[in-house]
Amino acid sequence: MFDLIVLILLTIFLFLVSYLLARVMTPIFIYAFQKLSSKTKSSLDDRILEQIKGPLDSLSFVFWMYFITHTIHVFDYTVEIIDKYVVSAIILVTAFFAVRIVKAFFDWFYEEGHKTSKIKIDINLLPFLQKLSRLIIWFIGISFSLGVLGYDISAILTITSVIGLILGLASQETLANIFAGLALQLDRPYHYGDYLRLTTGEIVMLRKIGMRTTKLYDHLGNTIIISNSRFAQERVTKIGSRGTILKNLVTFYVPNNIDITKLEQKISSAYEELKPYLSETQTSLKVHVLRIFTGNHYEVMVPVNLKDINSMVIVTDIINRKALELINEKHQ
């Protein structure tokens, strides 16, 4: 009975001393951190400080409990009894601490950091990455905490693995799209505004890579939505980017009795009309005859450097119209 009373009194005293030390030391740490953060231009440290004020009290409290029980010998009596609970609490509070820091980082990156960072990630993916990192931190923290308390975490890991496998099989396509989107964001083979030629020959502009789908614009302004996993497997050719030029070929067929020299002159005469839609790098129009098609027609290509994807329809229409005018003149 006496031993129990002593244990209770020592425990109460330990709690009170740890609480008082935490209340005294935490404001000192916050004040020192504020002094350091005031000297930096980034608001990241300010956001971190705002997020850790709450868990910092708890972390400081359990830290002092651990420190006192292992430093002052009068508490040796209580070490064996409460030590594992204190360590378990430290692990959980540290996990909570880490979650708050991660939240501060993602909030900062979403609002400010992505504008200057060399790492270009679609900010629409940040909420997903934040949730994923939070789940990982809590899973690791809870697993270690239970392990310290003596629980067999191998059983927990086994159950979690089975549940994860079931969910993974049930949402295999969704997960494939998510990871493909992450790979595209991290690898950055293309950037928003890039002009791409797909395996179908269609020319599109990359608009956005989301969590599950990729959005593209065609030359008519229509939105094309394709799954990330399919887009990642697509053989794509980059043919230009926003702010530069869009390289394209206008292809058409003319009868083989058409004089190619006259055709070239006819199309070249359209240069002034096409000039508002062409890049400054293109100073003339050239006609290339590739081969005879079906024995009666020539396949003709006119390379053009467009200002943007919206000019494609207009330029194609004007060149085809000029070729058609020559064909009509021939048959009159």
Rounded distance between C-alpha atoms, residue 248 and residue 196, angstroms: 10
pLDDT of residue 254: 81
SS3 of residue 100 by DSSP:
helix
* Average pLDDT in the chain: 75
What is the predicted pLDDT for the residue at 10? 66
- What the chain holds in terms of domains, given with CATH numbers, is 2-170 (no CATH), 189-241 (2.30.30.60), 246-331 (3.30.70.100)
**pLDDT, tens digit, for every residue of 297-319?**
878 888 888 877 777 788 888 88
Q: Which of 156-165, 193-202, 318-327 has the lowest mean pLDDT?
A: 156-165
pLDDT at 119: 63
The span from the CA of 252 to the CA of 263, in Å, is 12
The model's pLDDT over 229-273, given as tens digits with 9 standing for 90+, comes to 888 888 887 777 665 667 777 888 888 788 888 888 888 888 888
- Residue 27's contacts (CB-CB under 8 Å, 6 or more residues apart) are none
C-beta of residue 302 within 8 angstroms of C-beta of residue 330: no
In the chain the first and final C-alpha atoms are separated, in Å, by 121
Residue 169 has pLDDT above 60, yes or no: no
Confidence tier at 62 by pLDDT (50, 70, 90): confident
List, in order, residues 6 or more apart from 228 with CB less than 8 Å away: 176, 177, 178, 180, 181, 184, 209, 210, 212, 213, 214
The answer, yes or no, to whether residue 167 has pLDDT greater than 60, is no
Three-state DSSP state, 261: helix
Residue from 282, 183, 190 nearest 238 by CA: 190
Look at the block and give the residue holding tokens 């005294």.
24
* pLDDT the model gives residue 157: 63
- For position 257, what pLDDT does the model report? 80
Element (H, E) at 209: strand 203-209
Q: Which two tokens stand for residue 169?
A: 């099989």
Mean pLDDT of 273-291: 79
Cα–Cα distances in Å, from 208 out to 56, 132, 163, 321? 39, 21, 32, 35
| Predicted pLDDT at 190 | 75
Between residues 290 and 196, the one the model is more confident about: 196
Tell me: pLDDT of 153 over 70: no
Residue-wise pLDDT for 209-229, tens only, equals 777 788 888 766 788 888 888
Q: How far is CA 110 from CA 7, 105, 107, 119, in A?
A: 50, 9, 5, 12
Closest CA to 299 of 289, 285, 307: 289
- What confidence tens digit (pLDDT) does each residue in 24-61 have? 777 777 777 777 767 777 777 777 777 777 777 777 77
Residue 156 has pLDDT above 70, yes or no: no
